[in-house]
Amino acid sequence: MHKSVLLDECLENLNLKENSIIIDATLGYAGHSSHILKKINKGFLYAFDQDIEAIESSKKRLDEISSNYEIIQSNFVNLKEEIKKRNVNKIDGILFDLGVSSPQLDNDYRGFSFHNDAELDMRMDINNPLNAKKIVNEYSYHDLVRIFRDFGEEKYATSIARKIESTRLINPINTTLELVEIIKSSVPEKYKRDKHPARKVFQAIRIEVNKELEVFTLALNDALELIDVGGRVCVITFHSLEDKICKSKFRELTEVDKGLKNLPIIPLEYQPKYKLIGSFDPSNEELEINPRSRSAKLRVIEKLRK
C-alpha cells in the first residue's frame, strides 16, 4: 500500500473547510485525496493524473467516500486550462506531491525501479512517445552527460555516459538491470558502498522522460495564479532540483523589494501578494514507518490579495 508522505502536515496546511474547493494536482493512488475528500463533505475535489492504472484504483477508493470529486486524466501542466473549462472561479487549496508513487516503483514492468528487472520505460503517461529505452539508446553522449549532471547531480556522469555509449554499439540496452550493471561498472567501489549507484541516473532519466522540471515550473505558476485569496498552495518535493524551483518562486513572491525595505510604511501595491506559511520535514515517527519519506519537504504559501 502506498503511504502518503507528510499527510497530517498537508491536511493541516491546506486549511480545509467543509465547503473547500481543492485541487490535488498529483492524484496517484488517492492517498492524500481520500483524506481531503473526507474533510470537504460540502466542497469539491478536482484531481489530476495521467496514469490510467492509478486513476482506476483511485476511483474505487474515492467512490467509497463521496461523489464530490472529478478525476481529470491529464498532466498537471494543463491545470489552468482544465479548471477554466469547468468554469471554476474559486480554488481554496492546491496540492502537489512530486514523488513517484510506491506502486509505480514496485510494479516491475513500469521500469522506474533499479531494484527490479523490467523493460526500460519510466513513463508516467503510457502514451508518451519518449521512454527511458529511447534516451539510453539514442541520446548522444553529451546529452546523457547533461541530463545525468543537471537532473541527477551525478558526479560520475561522464564515465557512465561513456560506458552506455560503448555498450549500446554492441547491443541495445533494454532492461533496468542491464543499465544498473553498466552504471556499477562505471563508478568506484566506494561509491557503490555509500548508496545505490544507479539512484541518481534513474532519477535523471525519469525527469527527462516526463519533462518533470519544465512541467512543474509551468504548473506551479498557474496554481499560484488560480488560487483564491486566503487559499494555499502546498508542494511536496523529493529532490533538490524541484525544491529549488519551489523555494525560489515562493521567495520571489513573498519578499518585499530590497529598495523599499527601509520605508517606514510600504504602500499596499508594493507589498507582497503572498505570504510564506512555512516548510516542513517528515517527523521521526513517519521516517520510521516510511523510509521513502526521508528526502521529502513540504513548502506552503498563501495568497493575501489579487
Cβ pair 232, 13 in contact under 8 A: yes
276 band by pLDDT with thresholds 50, 70 and 90: very high
Given a cut of 80, whether residue 42 has pLDDT beyond it is: yes
Give the sheet arrangement for strand 297-303, strand by strand.
69-73, 44-49, 21-24, 93-97, 232-237, 297-303, 274-280
Q: How far apart are CA 135 and CA 247, in angstroms?
A: 29
In 3-state terms, what secondary structure has residue 41?
A: coil
Predicted confidence at residue 189, as pLDDT, reads 93
Q: How far apart are CA 47 and CA 28, in angstroms?
A: 9
Q: How far apart are CA 119 and CA 111, in angstroms?
A: 6
Predicted confidence at residue 265, as pLDDT, reads 85
Host H or E run for residue 240 = helix 240-254
Characterize 235-273 residue by residue with b for buried, 16 or more Cβ atoms within 10 angstroms of its Cβ, and e for exposed. bbbbbebbbebbbebbeeebeeeeeeeeeeeeeeeeeee
Predicted confidence at residue 261, as pLDDT, reads 75
Q: Could you give all domains of the chain from N- to C-terminal order, each with its CATH number?
A: 7-97+212-303 (3.40.50.150), 108-210 (1.10.150.170)
% of the chain exceeding 70 in pLDDT: 96
Q: How far apart are CA 69 and CA 50, in angstroms?
A: 16
Higher local confidence (pLDDT), 171 or 269: 171
% of the chain exceeding 90 in pLDDT: 82
